[in-house]
Structure 1
Amino acid sequence: MSQSSALNMQTPNPMKKKIITALIAVVVGHMGVLWAVGQIKTPELKPIEKEPLKVRFVKIQQPPKPIPPKPKAEPKKEQPKPVKEVKIVEKQLPPPPKKVEKVQQVKKAETAKPVIKPVEAPPKPTVTTTVSETRVVKPAPVTPPPAPVTPPAPPAPPAPKNVAIGGSGVQWSRSPRPSYSNSDLEGQTRNAMVYIEANEKGVITSARITRSSGLPALDEKILRSVRSSKFKPYKENGVAYPIKANLPLELTLNPNG
């Protein structure tokens, strides 16, 4: 038994041989195909030159908007003409004329001819027509609109009162104090007169020299001092008024220099 089994193992099965042979053939075929494919040169592809595309933008025009039809003008309404009133008067005909009877008088033994009286023609009927006068209705008069009412003008400011300074007149709220030295006076006493105007609140609105001290530089110092001063409001019967006044000034030498 051992020998027969060894013989069976040494002798291959014919089916197995066919399978192995087929596998070998398949492998050899694949290898040949791969070798053939490797020998084939890939064709060189020439680059295709293409012209660049030209793009042109075209603006699409919108259709024009339809023009709306013009509104038809309304026909003017004709004003109704005034109607003439006509009165119709009925014709009054006269009564019909009476019939004229022929009278025949018969006498005994004589026959009288009939006497025919002339027949009067009836009077012609008179027709009277009266036409009333036409009445034209006039439109009512158009009253013009009332004129605009203009606001009343503001009252004019009261005229300035001519008053004296001090005493029963106007009083100072801040009096002028011109600063000067003996050299400004040039060794002598100086006199000056200043005309002042102030409003109802006492604020000085105008000041000017009416009598000079003789020194222009000193006059400027006097004016600066007066313009920086102020009066108390001047009142009469509780009403404040603007004022005007003359301020006399005497500038004396200082004994201390």
Structure 2
Amino acid sequence: MSPSSTPMMQSPHPMKKKVLSALVAVVIGHIGVLWAVSQMESPELKPIDKEPLKVRFVKIQEPPKSLPPQPKAEPKPAQPKPPEVKEVKVVEKPLPPPKKVEKVQQVKKAEAPKPVVKPVEPTPQPTPTVTTTVSETKVVKPAPQPVVQPAPVAPPAPAVPATKSVSIGGSGVQWSRSPKPSYTNRDLQGETRSVVVLIEANEKGSITSARITRSSGIAALDEKILRAVRSAKFKPYKENGVAYPIRAEQPFELTLNPNG
């Protein structure tokens, strides 16, 4: 290379210098603007006082409704006017002064003519209007009512036959299973005892009630007699083929057993 080209390569291009200086100036300008903006104080906003809105409600009146046209009153028929009666005035003329005469003659006043009164014609009276009201009567037939069938009548309960008071044995009631009380000489407490029991049975002969009417004096012995009676049974008591409930008394003679 020649020595003349070396200094041209080392020296910068003048166009590049201008571009660099412009860029530096722009950067510095932006920095200055940003610094100025940061130093500015933000303006304080004053609160705005606003008065509250006042609302007033106004009632809107509706226009008056038009009333239905009232029916016009029918004109009354004009009544004929009665004929006018004219009054006729009678004017009396003054009489001339009487002349001096030897004889005074009496002068009569002329009689005043009587007023002529025309006869009054009778006023025609309006004929009354007769209104006839015809009412229709409707005959309403009653609705047919459902036929109510009578409820079935239950057959009457069979009458309970009256209780018969009878005797036991003979012509009275008979035992089909007689009572067999079980006791010992210890139960009799060394002496003979007697007990009477009133027994009630139904029409089938079953014992329904038994109670002591004469006690033996020993409650335990009476209870044994009652248990024996309740386990017994009568034959059905019948009269004329009809069974009846019965009531009968059964005496018991409780003797000592010689064998102990």
Larger radius of gyration: 2
Q: TM-score, normalised by structure 1?
A: 0.46
